[in-house]
């Protein structure tokens, strides 16, 4: 009986940890700050975003290629509470939607 309960508990816990689906989304830029390790990455800024659902994400962008500002909306994908910015989001040539749209 004890083995049955442990097995049932394991199944419930594994089901609760199932991977959530990834979906496309837009998020607002909430912060653009120098890289936390400027000694090794002096030419990078870290762009942090938040979706309307509260998913957060960030990515380093070369300062010379940075094109977005706080308040702009960028494209990416959401999985759970993690927002992953597109490869070229906030970079010159990447998809960025101005904040007034």
- CATH code for the domain in which residue 77 is found: 2.40.50
Residue 17 has pLDDT above 80, yes or no: no
- What distances in angstroms separate CA 87 from CA 5, 7, 26, 68, 100, one per listed residue? 46, 42, 14, 14, 23
Q: What 3-state class would DSSP assign to 74?
A: strand
pLDDT computed for residue 95 by the predictor: 53
49: containing domain: 21-97
pLDDT computed for residue 98 by the predictor: 53
pTM: 0.72
- What distances in angstroms separate CA 36 from CA 17, 40, 44, 82, 84, one per listed residue? 31, 9, 9, 20, 19
Is residue 83 domain-resident?
yes
Q: What 3-state class would DSSP assign to 12?
A: helix
Is residue 76 domain-resident?
yes
Residue 86 has pLDDT above 60, yes or no: yes
């Amino acid at each position: 009986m004890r083995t049955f309960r442990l097995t049932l508990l394991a199944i419930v816990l594994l089901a609760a940890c199932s991977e959530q689906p990834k979906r496309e989304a837009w998020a607002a830029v909430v912060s653009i700050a120098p890289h936390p390790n400027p000694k090794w990455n002096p030419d990078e800024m870290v762009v942090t975003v938040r979706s309307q659902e509260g998913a957060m994400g960030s990515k380093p962008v070369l300062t010379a290629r940075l094109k977005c500002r706080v308040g702009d909306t960028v494209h990416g994908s959401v999985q759970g509470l993690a927002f992953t910015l597109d490869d070229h989001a906030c970079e010159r040539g990447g998809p960025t939607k101005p904040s007034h749209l």
